[in-house]
Structure 1
């Protein structure tokens, strides 16, 4: 198929900010490919963060850590500079990414806070950057809600595991490795409670209670998202109701005629 000539009336992005904004927010094929590459790198970084406790003693770990720190720093600078609403970007994702970057820049002195790097997982799956690029077909659907809830639950599990490992590793019997801390977290969150690993003292009991209550809340939220009837997000122009049945013709709140787009090509 012969490519169409470029429209001479379309203004090309000018300057570094314009080019970055076109890549991060544009609709061209090159922009989409660029964002897919960024997301692929993000996923690889998340895998690295998850396995970090298992490879921390490897002599090549620090080299990999600083290389990843440079990549994350460049990404943060580029996203912040390209963002048309810097304050909103900073509140939604920027601050979390800065926390991740700080733990990467000081891996030895902040080793006990390395578990905060998993916040990158939450940040990725809660960002419009991801849903507008990879999962546009499922944007504003129950699949988006379900993915966000699962990402929140997984992030919570790894953060709690990191806290338990930082506070009790090699100080409590049977918590010697990161896997031991993860095992304790999962059994506590699911209220299985085998009892083979317990946290000592009143502080340990309070931490266990907090883990159970918060974990149950997240599991209930997950169950609600799975069981909730399928709805589509479409703002009613009259009353502002956002959730409607997929085949709704009229708004059930104010009876306004709707024009909900479908997924058919």
Structure 2
């Protein structure tokens, strides 16, 4: 059984830890300018880690590869510790799939000669950021709030393409020299997701067939969701106090389901 950590019951000896946890919570979970900047920096670092995965075939033979590899491992380790500190219940934190994905990525970075580089799994971090308040705040700051649904759907498609490309490259095309393997993996992924099916590049064996099936089913669903987000009118998430309907027109005065008067905050709220 995991004990729930309570800041109010901390002893003076642990007040420094409590202060650190509070500052980390403000940075990771807050919506102030300072917190949003910090969260944006985390997103940029995740993109840099993905770039390291893409450039891996070129860097692996050089002395800088292990330096960058272990530096990223240290960063992920520190971030795991920080995210554990801000949790009030460690059990809930350990139950999250993203936690175990980060731990697995950390192991592959610490043992690069024994395990494949699974840094592409960090793309899931980009997905979680896209689902968080960070995207909403940034779009509102840029005056693009009406593109929120389109951006979320686009992020879902891009992250899925990168995950599948990374998986296909790691397990099927890793032996090709240079960036040729990654390009082939991306080409196969796009052709499969769009159901173009040229057939010039296929994945061998049972694993290859299963990978193709999953890619087609999920990829088509994500593209349909993106198309819906592009063509349908913009709506905001605001639960109706009367019936609980979540989505309404941005300028709605009454709920379409029950007629209850709404008080949806405007863009400046």
Aligned to 2:115: 110
- Give 1:15 deviation, angstroms: 2.5
Q: Would you say the 8 A contact 2:43–2:126 is kept in 1?
A: no
CA contact (8 A) 1:157 1:186 kept: yes
Which residue of 203, 212, 216 corresponds with 1:212?
A: 216
* Aligned residue number for residue 194 of structure 2: 190
Distance in 2, Cα, partners of 1:85 & 1:170: 40
Partner residue in 1 for 2:105: 100
8 Å CA contact retained: 2:105, 2:118:
no
The answer to whether the aligner puts 1:234 opposite 2:238 as a matched pair is yes
Counterpart of 1:69?
73
Structure 2 residue 53 is the aligned partner of structure 1 residue 42: no
Among 147, 169, 174, the residue aligned to 2:173: 169
1:102-181 maps to which residues of 2 (within 5 A)?
102-111=107-116, 113-128=118-133, 130-131=134-135, 134-135=138-139, 137=141, 143-169=147-173, 177-181=181-185
Give the TM-score, by structure 1 length. 0.77
Instruction: Give a deviation string over 1:37-71, Cα, whole Å, max 9, x none.
Output: 33433333333334334533333111101101111
Q: 1:163, 1:51 → 2: CA distance?
A: 15
**Structure 2 unmatched ranges of 5 or more:** 1-16
From the two aligned structures, give the one with the greater helix fraction: 2
Are 1:93 and 1:127, in contact at CA under 8 Å, matched by a contact in 2?
A: no
Work out which structure has the larger RCO, using CA pairs closer than 8 Å and 6 or more positions apart in sequence.
Answer: 2
- Counterparts of 2:98 and 2:139, CA distance in 1: 18
Structure 1 residue 18 and structure 2 residue 22: aligned? yes
TM-score (norm 2): 0.76
- Does the CA-based 8 Å contact 2:50-2:120 persist in structure 1? no
**Secondary structure at 1:261 match in 2:** coil
Aligned-residue CA RMSD in angstroms? 3.3
Give CA-to-partner distance per residue, 1:181-225, whole Å, 9 cap, x none: 211221222122223222345654443333223222221121122
Deviations 1:24-46 (A, max 9, x none): 34455544444443343333333
